Amino acid sequence: MGPIVAAAGAFAPLSLLSVSAIMLCIAVGFAQLTRIAPNAGSSYSWIRMAFGARAGAYGAWLLLLSNFFATMATAVPAGIYTLDLLAPNLSQNPMWDAGVGALWILASTVLLYVGIRPTALVTALALALEVGVLLCSAIAALIMPHHAPPAHSVAAHDTHAFSLTLFGFVSAMTLGVWMNDGWEVSASASEEVNDDSRAAGRGGITGLLLTTVVLAAAMAAYLRLGSVGGFTANQADAMRFVADLLGDGFWRPLIITTVLVSTSSTLWTTVLYLSRSVFAMGRDGVLPRGLGRLDARSEPLWALLAVGALVTVCEVVTGFSPTAADALTEVLNASSVFLGLLFVCSAAAAVRIFWARREAVWGGVLLPFVGLVTLGGVIAATILTEERFLAYIALAGVCLGIPFAAWRGRGVGKAAGDLPGHCEPSALAPPL
C-alpha cells in the first residue's frame, strides 16, 4: 500500500481498481487455458504451446525473474513486521530485515514439502484472519475522526492528497499488478485438481475479485483516517502506521500479527507457484531435467529445494540496501514490471491458441487481447517515466532473457500440450 499511495496519492484505490479491470481480462484468458491445457508450468507452458520452444524458454525466464523478485518483495516486509512485533528498534535495519525474511522463506519451503493440502488448509485459515482484520480495521478507520500521525511519523501529515500526475497514476497501476497478484497460483496447481477442469480458472477469477474489493475498500478507509504524506513517509510498513493511527491497545499487535500471517501465506503460495513452474521447466528440459523429477511422495522436491535455496540467498542480498524502504521499493518495482510482462505474454498466448482453435472467442481472444494491449501500455509507460535505475533493471532483465531463450530453447523436446495436440495426463500424481 505504501509505495502505491506514494505514487498516486488519494487516487491509490482507483489505480488498483483500474489495473484490476485489466487483470480480469487476462484472468479470463487464464481460465480458458487451464480448462483445455492444465499444466504446472502455467504461463511458461502456454507461451511455449502457442509460440514454440524458444519463446517458451523466454517466458520461463520472465516467470523465474518476476517471481524471484516477488518472493523477495514479500519476504522483506515479513522481516520488517516480525521485528516490529519482537524488536522494534531493529525493524528498519535492512540486514536484520533480510535475515528474518530469509528464515520465513525457509519455513515456507518446509511447509510446502509437508504437502499441498495441509498448505491449502493453513492458507484458508490465514485468509479468514486477514480479511476479518482488514474489514474490521477499515470500519474503525471510517468511524474514527482524522488526526495527526504519531510523533515518529514524519513528512506532511496534514496533506490529504498530493497533486495527481498521469505518470504517478500509471506507476501506481504497475505496482497494483503486484498488490493483487497471486490469483494465478491456482493455474500452477491445475494438474493437481481432480475431475473439474474449470476449478483452477474459477479460483483465479474469484481470488482476483475478492482481493481487489477488500484491498481497495481498506485503502480508501485508511486514507480517510491518515494522510498521503504519512503513508509516504512510512511506506515500508504502512500497516504498522495504520495501527498507530487507530490508537494504542490491541490494534498494533493484532494488525502486525495479521500482516505477518498475510506475508507468510503469500510467501508459501509464491514458492508453490515458482516450484511447480520450475518442475515443469525441468520436465521439458528448459532447466536441468533433475528439477523435473518427483520424489517417492509425488512431490517436486528438487525443484522446491532449488527455489528455496536460491530465493533465500537473493533475500539476504537485499540486506545491503541503504534502508528498508529502498529494499522494498527496488524489489517491488522490478517484480511488478516483470510480472506485467509475463502477463502480457500469457495473454498473447491465449489469443494465439484460441484464435487457431476458434474456441471461446470472448474469453479466449477478445478479452485477453484487451488485457495485453492495455497492460503492455502501462508497463511501457512505467519503464519510460520512472527513474533510470528501474529502466536499467527492466532493460537488463529483458535483454538477458534472449540468450537464455536461445540456449535453453534449442533442441528441447516437444512438451505436452504443444499445438496442435492436446494436454497429456498430469505428471504430478496422484491428483488431489
**CATH number of the domain bearing residue 42:** 1.20.1740.10
Does residue 18 lie within any of the structural domains?
yes
Q: How many domains does the chain have?
A: 1
Write out the E strands in 234-383.
none
pLDDT category, 367, cuts 50, 70, 90? Answer: very high
- Contact indicator for 146, 242 with CB cutoff of 8 Å: no
* Most confident of the ranges 72-76, 194-198, 351-355: 351-355
Q: Model confidence over 263-321: pLDDT tens digits?
A: 888 888 888 889 999 999 999 999 999 999 999 888 899 999 999 998 888 888 877 77
> Residue 248: its pLDDT value, please?
66
Question: If you ran DSSP here, which 8-state letter would residue 414 be given?
Answer: P
The answer to whether residues 376 and 345 touch, using CB atoms and an 8 Å cutoff, is: no
Q: How confident is the model at residue 396 (pLDDT cuts 50, 70, 90)?
A: confident
Domain assignment present for residue 428? The answer is: no
pLDDT digits (tens, 9 = 90+) for 405-427: 999 987 565 544 454 333 333 44
223 close to 145: Cβ distance less than 8 angstroms: no
Residue 284 within any structural domain of the chain: yes
Q: Please report how the helices 166-179 and 367-385 are oriented relative to each other, as an axis angle in degrees rounded to 10.
A: 120
- Mean pLDDT of all residues in 322-341: 73
407's enclosing H/E stretch is: helix 388-408
Give domain status of residue 418, yes or no. no
| Cα 286 from Cα 57, distance rounded (Å) | 6
In a domain, 176, yes or no: yes
144-162 pLDDT, tens per residue? 876 544 434 444 343 334 4
Query: At residue 380, does pLDDT exceed 70?
Result: yes
Asked whether residue 431 is domain-assigned, the answer is no
For residue 161, the model assigns a pLDDT of 40
Contact residues for 325 (Cβ-Cβ < 8 A; gap 6+):
235, 236
**Which cell numbers in the block locate residue 186?**
491456482
C-alpha cell at 399: 535483454
Q: What is the pLDDT of residues 215-269, one digit of tens each?
A: 999 999 999 988 888 998 888 788 889 998 998 678 988 998 888 888 888 888 8
Is 323 a residue whose pLDDT tops 70?
Answer: no
Q: Is residue 421 part of a domain?
A: no
Structural domain boundaries enclosing 72: 2-408
Is there a domain that residue 420 lies in? Answer: no
The model's pLDDT over 179-226, given as tens digits with 9 standing for 90+, comes to 888 899 889 888 888 778 899 999 999 999 999 999 999 999 999 988
pLDDT of 115 strictly over 60:
yes
